[in-house]
Amino acid sequence: MSVTDSSCAVDVLIIGSGAAGLAAALRLPQDLRICILSKATLSAGSTPWAQGGIAAALGGFEDIEQHIEDTCRAGGDLPDPAVVRRVVEAGAEQIEWLLALGMPFSNESDHLHLTREGGHGTRRVAHAADHTGKSLMDTLLAAVQSRPNIHYRERHLAVNLITTHSLGRIDEANRCLGAYVLDLDHDTVRTFQADHIILATGGAAKAYLYTTNPDGSTGDGIAMGWRAGCRVANMEFMQFHPTCLFEPRAKSFLISEAVRGEGGLLRLPDGSRFMPRYHPDAELAPRDVVARAIDAEMKRLGIDCVYLDITHKGAAFIEQHFPMIHARCLEYGYDMTRDPLPVVPAAHYTCGGLIVNEAGRTDLLGLYAIGETSHTGLHGANRLASNSLLECLVYAQAAAEDITRHPLPPHPAVLPDWDESLVTDPDEAVVVTHNWDELRRTMWDYVGIVRTTKRLERAAHRIELLKREIQEYYAHFRISNNLIELRNLVEVADLIVRAALARQESRGLHFTRDYPELDRAHPPRNTVCDRTVAGSGALGNPPTGSAAPFMCRMLPPAETIRQDESAAR
């Protein structure tokens, strides 16, 4: 049911309505008051766009060990082994939970049909044809809408988190108390108070000019958590999906990894293959390898795209396995049963995020982060295909169970209303539009698939100027949807660039010509952005004069954990 009353006090506030947020709501006890906020409609996030499936080791011990090995290898040996094992071992349980909810997985005879995707050593991806994300959302939404204790508000965009420190109570442990939220339909900011807050707002691929993600992927949760005092890790690892349909009218429609998993071949305009020259697994190589190979061939030959060809599998096979992709391509005049599809890479998945522990807790008491908003240690330097939905489900359950086992008492603070007494209506909205475009072009040109120190430094300089302009605009004018998202995007873009400058090696999704090899002088390390240890001249600091300097430190995965875990509770 949709909330229509003015009450904004709940037990659990979930910001974000994708798979992670909905699953968390369903895993929480039914005697808790739960409110889900969605910046658009409930189903407008990235989850419905997921075509591939859910990676789950359903074949017993050997499959679990191989799934762990595949995940660590794809992640550039940077994933935390303990985290990988915990997530992978939970795969079968999550699939069973979804089946109990009515998830319409594709079947073969009397068992689930499993497909294979790039980086996987075997077939282990459970799916619903080529529209797993949409089917998953439909399943979760139906369950959520049947629960009287779960309410939701659509078109409510979170602006800032409210913490004890933001209220001036610096003598207390910093606890998240709620959020200021812009009601887009009524153009007013409401105050939401909750004992526990879960950030499940997705990733930040919209920081780039070309992306497979919907318009809402603007890094809102990452930026809000960072501003509130949480640490962030591995933001330099932005995954570019290798095969986005090269068609302006399609608005970045991705062609699933499963097309290559089922035999699709990448070809140049003359029909020749090129992936065997780049990796022994050819088209089934990890996504970062495939994306860089496509980028290199496009630049080498001066071509606009390459081609993905699965015509040799036959029309019946294609229409059975990829009905949604086939139908969508036909809308734009491409028949994948007869002709190869033109494809290019596009920004796709944010592998870094707010640092959380095994229960999804952030550095802030009462604040959790799950899904693409978080850094759990699972993905490392590159996400293995279809591990993301699995991570959403596992950490949604973990956060819900932690809240159930360790409930926080209501905080006595009375949260103040949003103050707009010192701002006016904007005089030139074109400033926001121009800065939005400049930021995304800067990220695409200088912080893309292949990087250099010089490009990154240019990006850092431009982003610093944009941050100042955007902050000045934010301080003087009433907020809007575009301004809030732009403010979050420039914050996230800054984190991406600073983290990329700090990593002086090439690993996984981060490839720099200045450091083309792995740093073998040190064990694999995460890039941790932290304001609490910022100091003069620290690697990754913004230029002198920035309001909130921070340090990017390189830490082993085992040391990338929540600070003061015991003190926080």
Rg over alpha carbons for the chain, rounded to the nearest Å, is 23
3-class state of residue 355 by DSSP: strand
Residues of the chain with pLDDT under 70: 1-7, 251, 533-549, 562-569
Instruction: Phi first, then psi: give them for residue 404, nearest 5 degrees.
Output: -65, -40
Q: 10-233+349-405 domain in CATH 3.50.50.60? A: yes
Pairing of strands 188-199, 9-15: parallel
Active-site residue set = 287
Angle at 389 between CA 386 and CA 392, to 5 degrees: 145
Rounded Cα gap, residues 480 and 223, in angstroms: 16
Angle at 356 between CA 560 and CA 501, to 5 degrees: 50
On whether the CB atoms of residues 556 and 377 are closer than 8 A, the answer is no
Burial of 383 (0-12, 13-18, 19+ CB in 10 A): buried
On whether the CB atoms of residues 76 and 507 are closer than 8 A, the answer is yes
Which amino acid, 430? V
Closest CA to 350 of 470, 138, 549, 206: 206
State both tokens at 36. Answer: 């889900």
Q: 238-348 domain in CATH 3.90.700.10? A: yes
Instruction: Count the Cβ atoms, other than its own, within 10 Å of residue 505.
Output: 21
pLDDT digits (tens, 9 = 90+) for 504-533: 999 999 999 999 999 999 999 999 999 875
Which amino acid, 216? G
Which 8-state DSSP code applies to residue 82?
H
- Give the helix ranges, DSSP H, for 266-366: 287-301, 315-321, 323-331
CA 331 to centroid of chain Cα atoms: 28
Closest CA to 16 of 350, 342, 280, 372: 372
State both tokens at 533. Answer: 């240890």
On whether the CB atoms of residues 490 and 480 are closer than 8 A, the answer is no
Lateral strand order in the sheet of 125-126? 54-55, 125-126, 114-115
On whether the CB atoms of residues 365 and 408 are closer than 8 A, the answer is yes
Helix axes 481-502, 453-476, angle to 10 degrees: 150
DSSP secondary structure string for all residues of 110-155:
TEE-EE--TT-SS--EE-STT-HHHHHHHHHHHHHTT-TTEEEESS
Which amino acid, 104? P
pLDDT at residue 533, rounded to an integer: 58
pLDDT at residue 247, rounded to an integer: 85
Rounded Cα gap, residues 307 and 266, in angstroms: 6
Residues facing residue 161 across a β-bridge: 179
pLDDT digits (tens, 9 = 90+) for 258-279: 899 899 999 999 999 999 999 9
Residues found in the chain: 569
pLDDT at residue 490, rounded to an integer: 97
Rounded Cα gap, residues 439 and 449, in angstroms: 17
CA 561 to centroid of chain Cα atoms: 19
Rounded Cα gap, residues 138 and 564, in angstroms: 39
Ranges in the chain annotated CATH 3.50.50.60:
10-233+349-405
3-class state of residue 195 by DSSP: strand
Ranges in the chain annotated CATH 3.90.700.10:
238-348
pLDDT at residue 546, rounded to an integer: 38
State both tokens at 270. Answer: 């003359």
Instruction: Count the Cβ atoms, other than its own, within 10 Å of residue 131.
Output: 21
The H-or-E segment that residue 242 falls in is strand 238-245
- How many angstroms separate the Cα of 76 from the Cα of each of 153, 344, 383, 510? 40, 23, 10, 10
pLDDT at residue 542, rounded to an integer: 32
Rounded Cα gap, residues 272 and 111, in angstroms: 38
3-state SS string for 290-302: HHHHHHHHHHHHC
